[in-house]
Amino acid sequence: MSYTTNIKQEISTINSTKSEIIAELSGFVRNNGIVENNTLSLTTENEFTINRLKNFFKTIYEVELTVEIKDNLNFSKKNLYLLKLNTKTEFILKDLGYYNDNNEYLESPPTYIVGANEEIRAYLRGVFLCTGSINNPKTSRYHMELLISTSSEAVFTQKLLNLFDLNAKILNRNKGYMIYIKEAEKIADFIRILGASKAVLFFENAKIYREKKNQTNRLNNCEQANMDKVLQTATLQLSQIELIEKSSSLDLLDEKTKQALIYRKKYPESSLKELSEIISLETGKKITKSGLNHRFRKIKELSDKLKKI
C-alpha cells in the first residue's frame, strides 16, 4: 500500500460533524463529480473512500449511492469504482455549493461551506481524497500535489492551503492545474491539517532518518576528501624523497630533515599531524605539525633544485 493510500485510509476514519461532512463532500464532489441527466457520478480506487462517501450521503441526505466497477484507464492494478447518485441530486448539489439557485456551476463554494478552520480542513480532506498524492518520504523527494480541473477551483484551493502558511504553488498542466508543496516541513503541516497523525509521525521519522543519512554522507565525503588530500601530499613527498636518494643528495639535508624523510617512507599513508605524533612518541622529542611541515619544505626545495640540474 502506498504512502498516499495510507494517508487517505487514515483520514477516512475521522469522525466529523454535520458541517464538516458537508465541507468534505463539497471538496470531493467539486473536484471529482460529473453531472449528467440529473445524475451525479463520482469515481475512486479505494473501497474505504466508497464506504465514507456512502455513509456521508446516507447520514446527511438519507440517500443511497449505487456502486459499479469501471475500466481503469490509469493503468493501475486497482479497480476503479463508479458511484452514482440520482435521488435529490439538484438539492444536494446546491447544498454542497456545486450549483447556485439557477443550477449554474459555482466558481467557488459559498462561504458557509468553509466558514471555520475545521470546515476548511474538512474541505481539503475531500479534495485530497479524490485528487491528492504525497511521495513516500523514505524513497523519493518531498512532494505533495493536488490535480485540479479548473483555474477557479485551483486558485480557491490554493488560498485555503495558504491560510495555514503552507506556501502552496500552482502549475498549469495539460489537463488542468497542479497545486504543489515541496518543503518537507510544509508537507508535514498539511498532513497534520488533514488529521492523519500516524502519517505525520511516519513522515517526521523518515525526514529525521534522511537528514541523519545525508549528514553522515556529507561527513564521509569530507573524510574521504581529506584522506585523498593526505595521500596526494604523501605521494608527492615520496617522489621528492626518491629523487633526492637517486641523486645521492641525502647529505645535503640536516639530521632533523633526514629524520622526517625516514619517517615519511616508514609511514607513507599518515597525515602530517599523525606523523608528528608518531615521531614525538618514538623519539621522545616533541615535534609539531608545523615544525614537520617546515622540514618537508626543505625536502621540496632540494628536490626542485635537483630537477633543474
pLDDT for 72: 67
pLDDT of residue 198: 94
Q: Which backbone phi and psi does 91 adopt, to 5 degrees? A: -60, -45
Nine-digit cell at 84? Answer: 452514482
Which pLDDT value is given to residue 201? 93
Which residue has 498516499 as its cell numbers?
4
Q: What is the pLDDT along the chain (309 residues), one digit of tens a residue?
A: 899 999 999 999 999 999 999 999 999 999 999 999 899 999 999 999 999 999 999 999 999 999 998 776 665 667 899 999 999 999 999 999 999 988 888 999 999 999 899 999 999 999 999 999 999 988 878 999 999 999 999 999 999 999 999 999 999 988 899 999 999 999 999 999 999 999 999 988 888 877 777 777 777 777 777 777 888 888 888 898 888 888 888 888 888 888 888 888 888 888 888 888 888 888 888 989 898 889 889 888 888 888 887
Question: Can you tell me the distance from the alpha carbon of 270 to that of 257, in angstroms, rounded to the nearest whole number?
Answer: 17
Give Rg (Cα) of the chain.
35
Task: Please report the pLDDT score of residue 40 as a whole number.
Answer: 94
Q: What is the dotted CATH code of the domain comprising 3-203?
A: 3.10.28.10
Looking at residue 212, what is its pLDDT? 77
Query: Does the predicted model carry a pTM greater than 0.75?
Result: no
Answer yes or no: are the C-beta atoms of 279 and 287 closer than 8 Å: yes
Q: For position 258, what pLDDT does the model report?
A: 86
For residue 99, what is the DSSP state?
A: B
Measured CA to CA, the distance from residue 118 to residue 287 in angstroms comes to 70
Q: What is the pLDDT of residue 76?
A: 60
Q: What are the sequence ranges of the domains in the chain?
A: 3-203, 219-308
pLDDT of residue 247: 85
- Cβ burial, residue 22 (10 Å; 0-12/13-18/19+): buried
